[in-house]
Amino acid sequence: MLASCPTHGYYRGSSCPKCGQTGKFLMSDRELDNLGRILAGLLRHFPDKLGLKVDGRGWIDLKELLQALHISRSGFQWLREEHLIALVETDPKGRYQIDGGMIRATYGHTIDVNLDDLPMAEVDVLYYPVTEEELELVLENGLHPVDRKKVHLSGSVDKALEAGRVRTENPVILKIDVKKAKEDGMRIYKAGKDVYVADSIDKKYLSKLDDSEGDKQ
């Protein structure tokens, strides 16, 4: 459930995690899941499907988005700006931004976007999962976008393993020397709570994570 606590703001769950009170109901889990899927598709992949205009940094007018959803989705006539704000503010992965009446996804795009207004990564190391078959090729050629417009990196070994297991049972984790890359002028951005993006990663910043290193994470 998505709801609003009068004291602590928006939250997901049966009650406010800070005070335990039941706030104003906004969306059921089913509605939240459906809207989340639609929002991800429109902001990352096919805004033109509903005739939405996207600027160069992926921003879409919030009111235009609402109007398009009201017209095209029969089950969302009740949807208001507050519902979208609540969804964005409580998103567990930090996948979206709302600012100045505009909304965007911060990563996962297959449309061309410039994300250089995101905050720079403030970590020394990031991680990326590959299959055993991909390992040598990536170490020889670096990381480059495949099915998305940016290379997506994880802030922890656990998150990299989680991402890698979507494709293979036992992913190999690569370590990215972000400190050295930044010293050399490479721009890596923080795009979500545990997701970072870059145009590409040169091979000289990559190394295979040793099992002993993974155990320490």
pLDDT tens per residue across span 89-108: 999 999 999 999 999 999 99
Alpha-carbon distance of 207 to 160, in angstroms, equals 14
Q: Is the pLDDT of residue 37 over 60?
A: yes
DSSP class of 201: B
* pLDDT reported for residue 210: 84
Instruction: Report the pLDDT value the prediction gives residue 75, as an integer from 0 to 100.
Output: 82
> What is the rounded CA–CA span in Å between residue 12 and residue 77?
22
Which domains are present in the chain? 2-105 (1.10.10.970), 125-216 (3.20.170.30)
39 contacts 99 by C-beta, under 8 angstroms:
no
Banded pLDDT at 125 (limits 50, 70, 90): very high
* pLDDT > 70? residue 215: no
Helical ranges in 91-188 per DSSP H: 132-141, 157-164, 178-183
Task: Quickly list H helices, 127-209.
Answer: 132-141, 157-164, 178-183
pLDDT of residue 212: 59
> What mean pLDDT do residues 191-206 have?
97
Window from 76-90, 101-115, 203-217 with minimum mean pLDDT? 203-217
Give the confidence band of 214 by pLDDT, cuts at 50, 70, 90: low
> In the predicted model, what is the mean pLDDT of residues 118-129?
97
Distances (CA, A) of 180 to 13, 122, 206: 41, 12, 11
Q: Tell me the pLDDT of the chain averaged across its residues.
A: 94
- The predicted model gives 112-122 an average pLDDT of 96
Confidence of residue 213 (pLDDT cuts 50, 70, 90): low
Q: Residue 211's pLDDT is what?
A: 67
Cα 103 to Cα 67, 126, 208, distances in angstroms: 14, 27, 37
Cα dist. 60→11, 18, 104, 174 in Å? 24, 32, 6, 35
Which secondary-structure segment (H or E) carries 121? none
0.85 surpassed by pTM: yes
Give pLDDT, residue 73: 80
Query: In this structure, which amino acid lies at residue 101?
Result: G
Check residues 62 and 215 and name the one with the higher pLDDT: 62
Counted residue by residue, the chain has a size of 217
What distance in Å separates the CA atoms of residue 65 and residue 16, rounded to the nearest whole number?
29
Instruction: Write b or e for each residue in 127-145: b if 16 or more Cβ atoms lie within 10 A of its Cβ, otherwise e.
Output: bbbbeeeeeeebeeeebee
Q: Which residues contact 173 (CB under 8 A, 6 or more apart)?
A: 127, 128, 129, 157, 160, 161, 164, 208, 209, 214
Are 117 and 189 in contact by the 8 Å Cβ rule? The answer is no
Burial profile 175-196: b = 16 or more Cβ within 10 angstroms, e = fewer:
bbbbeebbeeebebbbbbebbb
